[in-house]
Amino acid sequence: MTAQVICYPLLGQTTVIAEKQVNVTVALFPHDDEETNWEAALWYGSKDMSWRQLDLTRSDGNIPIPLADPETSVLVFSNTLQWQSLNGQRICYTVKYRRSGDSTWKWVNDDPNSVGDAEIIFQKSSTTLQLSSIEKYISNSSGDFHVKYHGQHEASDSPVWTLTCPIPASVTSATEPSVQRTTIGFPKDVVQYFALVKRMNFWLVPRHGGSKFDLGEDDCQFYTEDAEPKAILVSFLRSDGMNFVMLALSMNGTVTTLTSSENGNITFIGKNENEETRDGIVVCAVGGTVEEGIAAAMDHAKRVVRASLSTEPIASGKVEKSLDLEDKKSFHDELVYCTWNSLGPTLTSTTLSAALDDLDASSIYPSTIIIDDGWQSITPFGSETFPNQHRWSKFEASSTSFPEGLTNLSSQLRKSYPWIKNIGVWHGIFGYWGGIDPESEVGRKYKLRWVEINNSRRSGMWVVNACDVRRFYDDFYSFLVSCGINVVKLDTQGLLDDLKNAKDRRELIPAYQNAIHASLLSHFEDRVISCMSQYATNIFSPQILLSSSTRPANKIAMRNSDDFWPNDPATHAWHIHTNSHTSHLTTHLENIIPDWDMFQTSSQIPHYTSYHAAARALSGGLLSITDTPSHHDPSIISRLSCTPFQPSPSPSSTPSPPLILRTHPAKSTSVYPSSHSHRILKLRTSTLKTNIKVLGLFNTFSSGSITEIIGLEDFFPLSHSSSFHKNKKDTTEEHQEIQEKENQYILHSSSNNNISPPIFLTARGTDASKCLITLPESGWEILTACPVYTIPPPLPASSLPNLHPTTTTTTTPPITFAILGLLHKFVGAAAFWEYEGGREGGVWGFGCV
What digits encode the pLDDT tens for the residues 599-656? 999 988 878 999 999 999 999 999 999 999 999 999 999 999 998 876 666 777 888 8
Residue 548 above 60 pLDDT? yes
Average pLDDT over residues 464-491: 99
Q: pLDDT (tens digit, 9 = 90+) per residue, 570-582?
A: 899 999 999 999 9
Indicate left, alpha or beta for 618 from its phi (over 0: left) and psi (-120 to 50: alpha). Answer: alpha
Helix ranges restricted to H, 706-833: none
Indicate left, alpha or beta for 178 from its phi (over 0: left) and psi (-120 to 50: alpha). Answer: beta
Dihedral over Cα of 483, 486, 491, 497: its sign = positive
The percentage of residues in the chain with a pLDDT greater than 70, rounded to a whole number, is 85
> Is the separation of the CB atoms in 599 and 612 below 8 Å?
yes
* Residues 179 and 221 placed together within one structural domain of the fold: yes
Query: Could you tell me if residue 541 is inside a domain?
Result: no
The pLDDT score that the predictor gives to residue 844 is 60
Query: Could you tell me if residue 285 is inside a domain?
Result: yes
Confidence of residue 143 (pLDDT cuts 50, 70, 90): confident
Residue 729 above 70 pLDDT? no
Helix ranges restricted to H, 308-417: 325-329, 340-343, 349-361, 405-416
Strands 528-530 and 487-491, how do they pair?
A: parallel
* Residues 298 and 395 placed together within one structural domain of the fold: no
The pLDDT score that the predictor gives to residue 411 is 98
Q: pLDDT (tens digit, 9 = 90+) per residue, 552-565?
A: 568 999 999 999 99
* 3-state percent breakdown (helix, strand, coil) of the chain, nearest 5: 20, 35, 45
Last residue within a domain, chosen from 306, 340, 365: 306
The pLDDT score that the predictor gives to residue 280 is 97
Confidence of residue 322 (pLDDT cuts 50, 70, 90): very low
Last residue within a domain, chosen from 483, 501, 530: 530
Please give the residue that has the higher pLDDT: either 689 or 728. Answer: 689
Q: Compute the distance between CA of residue 356 and CA of residue 298 in angstroms, rounded to an integer.
A: 43
Query: Could you tell me if residue 718 is inside a domain?
Result: no
The pLDDT score that the predictor gives to residue 604 is 82
Residue 457 above 90 pLDDT? no
Q: Compute the distance between CA of residue 303 and CA of residue 290 in angstroms, rounded to an integer.
A: 20
Residue 522 above 70 pLDDT? yes
* Residues 3 and 91 placed together within one structural domain of the fold: yes
Is the preceding peptide bond at 9 cis, omega within 30 degrees of 0? Answer: yes
Which H or E element spans position 445? helix 441-445
User: In this structure, what CATH number is given to the domain that contains residue 50?
Assistant: 2.60.40.650
Residue 735 above 70 pLDDT? no
- CB-based contacts of 10, cutoff 8 Å, min separation 6: 118, 679, 708
**Least confident window among 80-94, 249-263, 310-324, 680-694:** 310-324
The percentage of residues in the chain with a pLDDT greater than 90, rounded to a whole number, is 70
* Residues 102 and 149 placed together within one structural domain of the fold: no
- Give the range of the structural domain holding residue 392, as residue numbers without chain letter: 377-412+420-530
Partnered with residue 760 across adjacent β-strands are: 744
- CB-based contacts of 310, cutoff 8 Å, min separation 6: none
Q: Compute the distance between CA of residue 130 and CA of residue 605 in angstroms, rounded to an integer.
A: 52
Last residue within a domain, chosen from 284, 306, 328: 306
Distance of CA 439 to the CA centre of its chain: 43
* Residues 140 and 108 placed together within one structural domain of the fold: no
* Residues 297 and 395 placed together within one structural domain of the fold: no
The pLDDT score that the predictor gives to residue 840 is 62
Query: Could you tell me if residue 191 is inside a domain?
Result: yes
* Residues 109 and 133 placed together within one structural domain of the fold: no
Confidence of residue 218 (pLDDT cuts 50, 70, 90): low
What number of CA atoms fall less than 13 Å from residue 257's CA on the CB side? 21
- CB-based contacts of 70, cutoff 8 Å, min separation 6: 29, 772, 774
Q: pLDDT (tens digit, 9 = 90+) per residue, 102-134?
A: 889 999 999 988 899 999 999 987 655 666 789
Confidence of residue 733 (pLDDT cuts 50, 70, 90): very low
Q: pLDDT (tens digit, 9 = 90+) per residue, 343-375?
A: 999 999 999 999 999 999 999 999 999 999 999
* Residues 150 and 48 placed together within one structural domain of the fold: no
Query: Could you tell me if residue 737 is inside a domain?
Result: no
Average pLDDT over residues 14-38: 88
DSSP 694-715: EEEEEE-SSSS-EEEEEEGGGT
Dihedral over Cα of 392, 394, 396, 400: its sign = negative
* Residues 90 and 164 placed together within one structural domain of the fold: no
Query: Could you tell me if residue 443 is inside a domain?
Result: yes
Average pLDDT over residues 816-843: 83
Q: Compute the distance between CA of residue 797 and CA of residue 806 in angstroms, rounded to an integer.
A: 7
Residue 188 above 60 pLDDT? yes
Query: Could you tell me if residue 399 is inside a domain?
Result: yes
Average pLDDT over residues 219-230: 66
Q: pLDDT (tens digit, 9 = 90+) per residue, 160-186?
A: 999 999 999 987 666 789 999 999 999
The pLDDT score that the predictor gives to residue 100 is 87
* Residues 436 and 521 placed together within one structural domain of the fold: yes
Q: Compute the distance between CA of residue 152 and CA of residue 134 in angstroms, rounded to an integer.
A: 13
Average model confidence (pLDDT) for the chain? 88
Q: Compute the distance between CA of residue 273 and CA of residue 252 in angstroms, rounded to an integer.
A: 9
User: In this structure, what CATH number is given to the domain that contains residue 458?
Assistant: 3.20.20.80
* Residues 151 and 66 placed together within one structural domain of the fold: no
Looking at the structure of the chain, the number of domains it has is 3
Confidence of residue 802 (pLDDT cuts 50, 70, 90): low
Is the preceding peptide bond at 569 cis, omega within 30 degrees of 0? Answer: no
The pLDDT score that the predictor gives to residue 847 is 60
Q: Compute the distance between CA of residue 243 and CA of residue 235 in angstroms, rounded to an integer.
A: 6
The pLDDT score that the predictor gives to residue 726 is 38
For 557-576, give one letter per residue: b (16+ CB within 10 A) or e. Answer: bbbbbbbbebeeeebbbbbb
Q: pLDDT (tens digit, 9 = 90+) per residue, 414-429?
A: 999 999 999 999 999 9
- Single-letter residue type at 597: D
> Is the separation of the CB atoms in 338 and 347 below 8 Å?
no
Query: Could you tell me if residue 616 is inside a domain?
Result: no
Q: pLDDT (tens digit, 9 = 90+) per residue, 51-74?
A: 999 999 998 766 655 454 556 688
* Residues 206 and 238 placed together within one structural domain of the fold: yes
Q: Compute the distance between CA of residue 658 and CA of residue 833 in angstroms, rounded to an integer.
A: 17
Distances in Å between the Cα of 727 and the Cα atoms of 106, 146, 503, 634, 691 are 47, 43, 51, 32, 5
Partnered with residue 746 across adjacent β-strands are: 786
The pLDDT score that the predictor gives to residue 731 is 41
Q: Compute the distance between CA of residue 678 and CA of residue 232 in angstroms, rounded to an integer.
A: 27
Dihedral over Cα of 555, 561, 567, 569: its sign = negative
Confidence of residue 385 (pLDDT cuts 50, 70, 90): low
Confidence of residue 293 (pLDDT cuts 50, 70, 90): very high
